[in-house]
Amino acid sequence: MKKIDRKRLLREMVFFRRFEDRAFEAYMERKIGGFLHLYSGQEAVATGVLEVVQAEHGVGFDYVITGYRDHIHAIKAGAPAQEVMAELYGKETGSSKGRGGSMHIFDPSVRFMGGYALVGQPFPLAAGLALACKHQNEGRIAVCFLGEGANNQGTFHETMNMASLWKLPVLFVCENNRYAIGTAIQRSTAVIDQYKRLEAYNIPASQHLGQDIEVVMEAAQPAVDHVRSGAGPYFLEFLTYRYRGHSMSDAGAYRSKEEVAEWKQQDPLQILAKRLIEAGELTEEEFKAMEQAVQDEIDNDIIKFAEESPEPKVADLTKYVLDDNPDPRWIGPLQAQGGRQHG
């Protein structure tokens, strides 16, 4: 592993936390509508894993896909933060031109192949992306992030079986935050340690603490190396915790205050900041200045861009529903059968 720029990674995680905080505030101000699922508390997982993935070929080389808690994965994968926030605002300048909202961030220009609202939906899509990578033979891999709640879906088991059988170059990253919406893992899942479930599919797997970004990166490196070598899939489980509710409508009554407080003692931002301060690489004043600079950037750049961007036009309501340049191999037969006309 290359030398880690720990101060840059700390700033990135501070940025991600403040991005989500401002999204929370904008939602409360009714500037963001629909659903909103925030990543606060889990920043070390996406930041650390994708840092390792991007180390060899850079941002936008490999495919990344995830579920509906997707803002930070998208930004770390290379999607512009301005466009992600604009998408939350439902603006024309958003990454999905205001049509997708929080759960459907999408930017194929950096091979971020989306967040998905359907639980477990990204598993087979990740396998398809990995199969394409294998056929193209250009060294790319697919990285699939999902929570532990998705692992009880049929798509999980079907995908793990095929990924193993075909030795697909896909890295599965399980962000185990202990709750599937408001249901504790002990109440819904027979095998609590998710990495153990992969033994049934002959997929190497391991479990790690997801609150310390250096632990995350150390665990991710051999997993990425394994997948990129052509040896087949790998499954990483990270024990983590979301500090806010499942969504904006979730008051979190199913979690005790003591439990939340205990996990906040393992805040990924504070763990790394404390380590840098103790190592003499950062001072308390520099950390406070970093936080303020990030806050200013989000307020004066990210939020400003979203709020000043135009709304989608009503006249364009049906735009992007059908392909503007349909392939005649399928549109002709479709019309011949009395299907919908294009245009």
How far is residue 183 from each of residues 32, 47, 258, measured CA to CA in Å?
A: 26, 26, 18
Is there a domain that residue 308 lies in? Answer: yes
Rounded-to-integer distance, Cα 233 and Cα 160, Å = 9
| pTM for this model (two decimals) | 0.92
Amino acid at 202: N
CATH code for position 199: 3.40.50.970
Is there a domain that residue 323 lies in? Answer: no
Sheet hosting strand 63-66, strand order edge to edge:
112-115, 63-66, 142-147, 170-176, 234-239, 205-209
Mind listing the pLDDT tens digit for each residue in 273-298?
999 999 999 999 999 999 999 999 99
Is there a domain that residue 207 lies in? Answer: yes
Is there a domain that residue 1 lies in? Answer: no
Rounded-to-integer distance, Cα 319 and Cα 330, Å = 20
Q: What pLDDT score was predicted for residue 325?
A: 75
| Token pair for 255 | 């979690």
Residue 206 CB neighbour total at 10 angstroms: 14
Task: Identify the CA nearest to 302 among candidates 103, 96, 67, 79.
Answer: 79
Counting the structural domains of the chain, the total is: 1
Is there a domain that residue 32 lies in? Answer: yes
| Token pair for 279 | 């190592």
Residue in the block written with tokens 């509710």: 245
Contact 73, 66 (CB under 8 A): yes
Mind listing the pLDDT tens digit for each residue in 16-30?
999 999 999 999 999
Q: Domain range for residue 17?
A: 6-316
**For the chain, how big is the Rg over CA atoms in Å?**
21
Rounded-to-integer distance, Cα 40 and Cα 248, Å = 13
Cα dihedral value 235, 236, 239, 245, nearest 10: -70
Q: What pLDDT score was predicted for residue 337?
A: 56
Task: Identify the CA nearest to 176 among candidates 73, 270, 45.
Answer: 45
Cβ partners under 8 Å of residue 325, min gap 6: none
Is there a domain that residue 20 lies in? Answer: yes
Q: What pLDDT score was predicted for residue 307?
A: 97
Strands (E), the chain: 63-66, 112-115, 142-147, 170-176, 179-180, 183-184, 205-209, 234-239
Residues lower than pLDDT 50 in the chain: 340-343
Residue 182 CB neighbour total at 10 angstroms: 14
Rounded-to-integer distance, Cα 161 and Cα 228, Å = 19
Is there a domain that residue 298 lies in? Answer: yes
Is there a domain that residue 341 lies in? Answer: no
Rounded-to-integer distance, Cα 71 and Cα 216, Å = 19
Q: What pLDDT score was predicted for residue 332?
A: 59
